[in-house]
A = this chain, B = another copy of it.
Amino acid sequence: MQESATTIAIGPDQPSSRLLEKAVLGAGAQIGPLAAADGLIWIGTPAGFPATLPASVRWVQLPAAGIEDYFAAGVFEAHPGVEFTSAAGAFAHSVAEHALMLLLAGVRYLPEHLRATSWQQREFFPHVGSLRGKTVTIVGAGGIGRALIPMLVPLGAHVIAVNRSGRPVTGPGIPGDVETVPADQLSRVWSHTDHVVVAAPATAQTRHLLGADELARLKPASWVINVARGSLIDTTALVDALARGVIGGAGLDVTDPEPLPDGHRLWTLPNAIITPHDSNPPQLRLAAFADHVGANVARFVAGEALLAPVDPRRGY
Q: How many copies of this chain does one complex carry?
A: 2
Bound CA span A281–B117, Å? 20
Interface residues of A (CB under 8 A from B): 93-94, 97-98, 100-101, 104-105, 108, 110-111, 113-114, 116-121, 124-126, 128-133, 150-151, 153-156, 173, 258-262, 267-268, 273-279, 281-284, 287-288
Cβ of A172 to closest chain B Cβ, rounded Å: 9
Q: Across the interface, which residues of B come within 8 angstroms of A126, CB to CB?
A: 281, 283
Cβ of A256 to closest chain B Cβ, rounded Å: 13
Partner of A98, one of B108, B118, B119, B279: B108
Bound CA span A103–B60, Å? 38
Partner of A104, one of B101, B124, B268, B287: B101
Bound CA span A175–B133, Å? 23
**Other than the known A97-B155, A110-B110, A111-B114, what 7 A-B pairs have Cβ atoms closer than 8 Å?**
A93-B132, A94-B130, A101-B108, A104-B104, A118-B267, A128-B278, A153-B154
The 6 closest A-B pairs by CB, nearest first: A119-B259, A101-B104, A121-B276, A150-B154, A125-B281, A128-B281
Q: Across the interface, which residues of B come within 8 angstroms of A93, CB to CB?
A: 130, 132, 156
Q: Across the interface, which residues of B come within 8 angstroms of A132, CB to CB?
A: 93-94, 97, 284, 287-288
Task: Please determine whether B125 and A278 come into contact, CB atoms closer than 8 angstroms.
Answer: yes
Bound CA span A173–B287, Å? 26
Bound CA span A119–B254, Å? 11
Bound CA span A124–B274, Å? 12
